[in-house]
Structure 1
Amino acid sequence: MRSQAQETDFELAGLNAGSENPPLADTAVSLAFPDGGKEAWTCLLGSALILFPSFGFQTAIGSVQDYLSTHQLADYTVRDVGWITAVLVFLTLFLGIQVGPLFDRYGPRMLLIIGSLGSTASYFLLAECTKYWHFMLCLSVLGGISSAVVTTVSISVLSHWFYRRRALASGLCMSGSSAGGAIIPLLLRTLFKEYGWTWSIRIIGFMALGCYAAGIMLVKGRLPMVGETKAIVDLRAFKAPRLCFLAVAVFAFEFIIFGCAALLPTYVRYSGLDLDVQFYSLTVLNSMSLVGRVLPGVAADLFGRFNILLTLACITLVIMGSVWIPFGSQNEATLYAVVAIFGFGSGGWVSLAPVCAGQLCRTEEYGRFYGTIYSVAAFGVLLTVPVGGELLQSTTPQALVGFYAAVLLIGLISVGMSRWALLDWKWKWKVKV
């Protein structure tokens, strides 16, 4: 059972805070974190390196999915092939609910070694796949479980080192996945033409092995490990309306982000644009996502995490509704422009949503709370590619973008409600929260 002092600390963490000041705005707590220094920045670099071939490959998965749709799995529909990538990302997010408590108890090192070995093995096995069930087992199941371990630990460990700069640190860390999502499609574009499927994926596997090895050496925890792990799902957290609304928002954001990442090359093909645009559009998307994961983090530490998240969602929704839906599939220049803006905005969602979640719990329990919220979001990524693929194949590219814009509207409203609940249902425009 928790002591009275622990319960008081838990309340200070923001689960029932409703003051004008943002949760966790406690000077004594802030001073207990390095928020910089050699060890903190080294750990952050290691986390970014680990996310490069894990989340980075998943944000570039559209180039792999479209290749499979036109080669090994050409006899299957876009929806059917979409289930392979959907299960991959679903397991990555959903199993974070299991990894979070394990991180709290055992720390990062052992988990990263196990996850990295599994992820590397999945790449080399993927290179040998020829049938649908091969891809489902090697890429979806083994790859998803392994990615769940390395990505959850890489992100959660930042909460040991950063407090005031946590949004910036999260953005810099997540930029590793954006860099992977930008570079991997360009590599595959060349590798597929010159070496074919098998050696292309093997080369990605060797690259992943190098990144994981470097990351494991650099990442380390700082806070004491929890002696026991309690509930895997902290149901008490959902008693707070602001966390419930944030979970809905994250569900919507992940639904859109991974749907676009997986279906963008197929969207380009159905729009009748040049084949190279399939790879270049993903590079533009993830390059701008890299910028979007860093700069909003700086702004969020100055003006409030929820405030910047709301702003990014509003801007992206306006661009999708006014430009992408009516004009995005007409020419390459317009597509690149709207994809760039979408990439910047969605990059901010990815980096800021976990930091907003961190305002709702104590640092020692961040792994569990992070896993709880993203277990909800996991069902969004499970559905988005099959649903979006079916919609794209049966209607038009414009209808697909319109559908994602509607989902984004739900996410925008949910973030606003979470912020409103955070202020005890007293909306204040100028509060830094």
Structure 2
Amino acid sequence: MTEPNDVTAAGEAESLVDESHPVTSSPEIPDGGLLAWLQVLGAFCLYLNTWGIVSMFGAFQSYYQTTLLVHEKPDNISWIGSVQVFLLFLGGTLSGPAFDAGYLRTLLILGTFLSCFGMFMTSICQQYWQFLLAQGLVVGLGFGCLFLPTIAIISQYFTTKKAIAFGIASVGGSLGGVVFPIMFRRLELEIGFPWATRAIAFIMLGTLAIPLLTMRHRAAFPITKLRFVDLAAYRKPSLTTYVAGLFFGFMGVYVAMYYIQLYAIAKTGISDSLSSYLLPILNGTSIIGRLVSNYFADKAGPLNMQIPNAFAAAILCFCWIRIDNVPGIVVFAALYGIFIGSFNSLPGISVVSLSPNLSKVGLQLGVSFVVAGLGCLIGEPIAGAILRSNGGWAGLQAWCGVLLALFGALTLLARVSEAGLRLKAKA
């Protein structure tokens, strides 16, 4: 059974292809045109309402710890955001195969309902377990339905312009990470936490209508049977090594985003009002990282762009240990945002580029992102536990740096496995 309007008779006919002979060559892809760029617009809105909300959780973390949940430990509060982003990735195990099977519209409708409903419920929460259930579990499940189609759909419409199309779409995540924290801070002071959260939910509801109007599964891509495991693809060493790197990378990349505002207040003497702009600064400069990295990824390859970014972000985290003044923390936020910009814009296209079978790309993305999600699930709570132990802030910062360096090293190994040692090889 397929959804109306998503798959034409041509697509249904192609689904009869014997799956014992998988399609390894991609169908003719338009690589542009109005319909293709409408998919980018829809993906932009999905990034805005998934990674944009994930990227602003540091604002919630700071507010909960200083106001609503003052008796909870930092690592307990960070579980809310960690569960949310883990489910965003874990949802790929279901949404990936469902996308391959033609159920794009069902994913968009279900994801929109769960995401908005969870945010509205968050606005009336009072206790820790309520926030974990509404903001962590329900919103996270909604994000799990919405995120993977943003990557899979663009790979059906673009080839040589694929990376820059991903980059433009992923700017939605950065934009959300700029606008939502500022909006939350201002509205929370003026109308209180409940209505500030509801205002964000109303924006989500309105902008998530756009993907429902614009995004369409291409009939030229075969509709596969609903499967949830395809381990054969991971016999490819470069793909397996890269996915292992994603585990460590996503374990570390959000540590600074969750804790930078609290660190600045505790160690630099920054004012509360200025500290609330650190996260928007970080997310704002990540737009530069996303667009620049993705522009050159079309020319040099996505792995080649992620390697220097990962090592640069790791070095910054070690430098963070010595920052104890306001100008320093502002500069750190700006630079860190630039170098982590590629974390949300290039992993998807990297998995697609390493995938041995584009007709199962949704399934392969789903498995890859579950591994990344496991890293997100445990990374921030471990960082919080380090913070309240003898490790303190220096331990948290070093933890972040080591994880990003491991991601860089494993991505380098994947690049060598895929393209060899030639410096100019595209990978």
State the TM-score, normalizing by the size of structure 1.
Answer: 0.90
Q: How do 1:147-226 and structure 2 match up within 5 A?
A: 147-224=143-220, 226=222
Shift of 1:148: 0.5
**Does the residue aligned with 1:430 lie in a helix, a strand or coil?**
coil
User: For the aligned residues, what is the CA RMSD?
Assistant: 2.0
Q: How far apart in 1 are the matches of 2:20 and 2:375?
A: 38
The 2-side partners of 1:117 and 1:104 are apart by 21
* 1:369 aligns with one of 356, 364, 372: 364
Aligned residue number for residue 357 of structure 1: 351
Alignment of 1:278-357 (within 5 A): 278-321=275-318, 323-327=319-323, 330-357=324-351
Structure 1 pair 44/318, CA: closer, same or farther in 2 (3 Å)? same
Offset from partner CA, 1:292-342 (integer Å, 9 cap, x none): 111111111112221111122232233333x32222xx1121112122121
The equivalent residue for 1:145 is: 141
The 8 Å contact of residues 31 and 159 in structure 2, kept in 1 or not, is answered as yes
Larger CA deviation: 96-105 vs 254-263: 254-263
- SS of the residue corresponding to residue 343 of structure 1 reads helix
TM-fit CA distance, 1:400: 1.5
Deviations 1:133-155 (A, max 9, x none): 21111111111111100111222
TM-score (norm 2): 0.91
Q: Show the 5 A alignment for 1:18-417.
A: 29=26, 32-224=28-220, 226-229=222-225, 231-271=227-267, 272-321=269-318, 323-327=319-323, 330-361=324-355, 362-394=357-389, 395-417=391-413
Q: State the AA in 1 paired with 2:284.
A: S
Counterpart selection for 2:422 from 419, 422, 428 = 428
Matched residues in 2 for 1:5 and 1:92: separation? 31
Kindly provide the CA deviation profile for residues 384-426 of structure 1, in whole angstroms up to 9, marking residues without a partner as x: 1211112223343232111111111111110011011113xx4
Which whole-Å CA distance do the structure 2 matches of 1:320 and 1:371 have between them? 29
Residues 74-102 of structure 1: CA deviation (Å, up to 9, x unaligned): 11111111111111111111121111000
Number of residue pairs matched? Answer: 409
Structure 1: unaligned runs, 5 residues or longer: 13-28
Moved over 4 A (4+): 1-5, 224-228
Partner of 1:18: none
Distance 1:223 1:347, change over 3 A: farther
1:24 aligns with none
CA distance in 2, matches of 1:248, 1:77: 30
User: What secondary structure is seen at the aligned counterpart in 2 of 1:273?
Assistant: coil
Partners of 1:312 and 1:411 lie apart in 2 by 10
- Give the percent of matched residue pairs that are identical in Structure 1 and Structure 2: 26
- Partner Cα separation in structure 2 for residue 101 and residue 278 of structure 1: 42
State how far apart, in whole Å, the 2-side matches of 1:319 and 1:81 are.
25
